[in-house]
Amino acid sequence: MTAPVLFDRLRDANAADWGAYVEHEFVLGLQSGTLPEAAFRHYLIQDYLFLIQFARAYALAAYKSETLEEIREAADVVRVIAEVEMGLHIEYCKGWGIEEHEITSAPEAEENMAYTRFVLERGHAGDVLDLYVALLPCMWGYAEIGTRLASSPDTNRTDNPYLPWIEMYSSDDYVSNAKRGLERLDRLFDARAGGGRFESLSKTFSQASRLEAGFWQMGLNAAKIG
């Protein structure tokens, strides 16, 4: 597996925004086990609603793709989200005492709409590369956070209710899929971009990273209100 190139460039060009996302107070609370349960429960509900828009984004990626292989890759992600991940998410939420009707009847938070509609807008206005760069903080960020927390000696492993979340996003399957996404990004960049396009992609990555950080903050804000 070749080392990613475009992601490293985007991260290095937007180190402050990326750091604010992957080292957010919400993430540190997951690591220590001190994150307020109200914050996590709110996040779980919104994350389900996010998955719906995530599936739409990959459906758009299939439409924007130019090769049959790219179409199949995007379509397979849509299938996995719709047929597998959303059901698993419902079951996971039940473990936190959140019933399906509570999730499906919940309104989308503004922070949720801000990020997901930004992703879809970038996909509609640009090409599939713009779309995948907008999705990159979600697609790779969770894998980076999960693996870092799983390997850190500072992670609470004794009485941490969020340890299953960390294990899920540090699993071999999840990280392998995320790495394949980085490789796909490099292939698209090589095929569709010249050096002059990097600045535009960097702006998309920066905005998407800030919006992902806002998604974490959404949970904390809900806990404070509650």
b or e along 177-215 (b: 16 or more beta carbons within 10 Å of the residue's beta carbon)? ebbebbebbbebbeeebeeeebeebbebbbbbbbbbbbb
The active-site residue, picked from 70, 111, 138, 144, is: 138
Task: Let me know if 93 is a catalytic residue.
Answer: no
User: CA–CA separation, 42 vs 186, rounded Å?
Assistant: 35
- The distance in angstroms from the start CA to the end CA of the chain is 46
Task: Let me know if 212 is a catalytic residue.
Answer: yes
What number of CA atoms fall less than 13 Å from residue 139's CA on the CB side?
Answer: 25
Active site residues: 138, 212
